[in-house]
């Protein structure tokens, strides 16, 4: 395994982070236990979850993933071997009404309630990295590129959110804070207020990043590099699309897009065209397409960790093994050529 510093800290986290959002939906408790056992044995010391999980978001499975992780901590006695990240949900009226009525404020009351509930499910006294899952304010995220001016005067001021998080840091319930699905403006405002008011500093940004979506490079990569606020890349395989398993209209049994075809972010015609080109490139060099796609993400200098997710052990082993793959220059050149022909088909 390889390791990098978490933000401006002296903490080493594995370049591969174990994603967990399928546990409690696509994966059983026993399957999740097997994944955590294997990942830890392979040197993965970084796990990521959220109060929202399992995915898709449903009242019946909300919190199931954190409960499974908590049961594993208790059964294995491995809490101190894992750098644990979780997230507090933002607003989602009509989508996640089962979580605080869908209101999702990042104020003192909601952060305290969400954190305490997560700690109880996780059977721990602290979360090492606590992240805001998506912005409370109205802005462009979850695949939306254009910014539309909308009234969000009732959103919690960023400074108030930082003060609320600082209280939890002082209480020992949080060690560090992070953002997710954020914009360059958002990250810089959090950093600015933290510096001015001596409040907790954002250490990571968890956003999508993969061969089909490199929009992070446009503004956020420089922020990550210059501000020591590294990327935690989620969806590094684009919902599994970059493995090539959905090409030609294939829908493998039990796969995410087979089960939930509405997850169409990475299956539009341009994305399929680009995926075909990436798969051909990998095959021409004797590489597994999924491992090539992951190795590219691992290699980015603004990255802290790549969040992988697997629904079976074969996938997990293959994904973790990608850490040993160094892409030769001709493959990197081929990736850039495909990107120029098919830039960000799945933002």
Q: Is 53 a catalytic residue?
A: yes
> CA–CA separation, 249 vs 239, rounded Å?
15
**Separation in Å, CA 78 to CA 66, 74, 82, 312, 325:** 15, 8, 7, 22, 28
Antiparallel, parallel or unpaired: β 3-5 and 12-14: antiparallel
What kind and span of H or E run contains 14? strand 12-14
Count the residues in the chain.
347
Closest CA to 17 of 206, 255, 244: 206
**C-alpha dihedral sign at 62, 66, 70, 73:** positive
Closest CA to 115 of 82, 135, 83, 88: 88
Say which residues have a Cβ less than 8 Å from residue 184's Cβ, sequence separation at least 6. 219, 220, 223
| Active-site pick, 3, 38, 53, 263 | 53
User: What burial letters (b/e) apply to 61-79, b meaning 16+ CB within 10 Å?
Assistant: bbbbbbbbbbbbbeeeeeb
Q: What SS3 state is found at 124?
A: coil
> Cis ω on the peptide bond leading into residue 178 (within 30° of 0)?
no
**C-alpha dihedral sign at 120, 121, 122, 123:** positive
Looking from the CA of 276 toward its CB, the CA atoms found within 13 Å total 12
- Kindly list the catalytic residues: 53
């Amino acid at each position: 395994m390889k390791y990098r510093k978490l933000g401006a800290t002296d903490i080493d986290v594995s370049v591969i982070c174990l994603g967990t959002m399928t546990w409690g939906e696509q994966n059983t408790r026993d399957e999740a236990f097997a994944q955590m056992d294997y990942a830890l044995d392979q040197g993965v010391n970084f796990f990521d979850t959220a109060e929202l999980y399992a995915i898709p978001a449903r009242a019946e499975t909300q919190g199931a993933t954190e409960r499974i992780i908590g049961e594993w901590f208790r059964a294995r006695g491995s809490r101190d071997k894992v750098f644990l990240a979780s997230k507090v949900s933002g607003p989602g009226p009509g989508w996640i009404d089962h979580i605080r009525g869908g209101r999702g404020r990042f104020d003192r009351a909601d952060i305290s309630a969400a954190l305490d509930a997560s700690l109880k499910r996780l059977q721990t006294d602290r979360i090492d990295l606590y992240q805001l899952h998506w912005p409370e304010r109205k802005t462009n995220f979850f695949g939306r590129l254009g910014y539309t001016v909308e009234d969000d005067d009732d959103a919690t001021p960023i400074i108030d959110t930082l003060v609320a998080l600082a209280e939890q840091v002082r209480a020992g319930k949080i060690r560090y804070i992070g953002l997710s699905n954020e914009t360059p403006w958002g990250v810089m405002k959090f950093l600015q207020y933290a510096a001015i008011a001596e409040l907790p500093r954002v250490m990571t940004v968890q956003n999508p990043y993969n061969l089909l979506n490199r929009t992070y490079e446009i503004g956020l990569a420089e922020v990550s590099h210059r501000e020591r606020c590294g990327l935690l890349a989620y969806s590094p395989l684009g919902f599994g699309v970059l493995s090539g398993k959905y090409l030609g209209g294939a829908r493998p049994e039990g796969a995410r897009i087979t089960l939930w075809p509405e997850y169409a972010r990475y299956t539009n015609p341009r994305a399929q065209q680009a995926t075909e080109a990436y798969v051909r490139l990998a095959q021409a060099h004797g590489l597994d397409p999924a491992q090539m796609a992951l190795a590219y993400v691992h290699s980015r200098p603004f990255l802290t960790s790549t969040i992988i997710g697997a629904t079976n052990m074969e996938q997990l082993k293959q994904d973790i093994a990608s850490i040993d793959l160094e892409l030769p220059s001709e493959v990197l050149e081929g990736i850039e050529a495909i990107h120029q022909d098919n830039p960000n088909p799945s933002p």
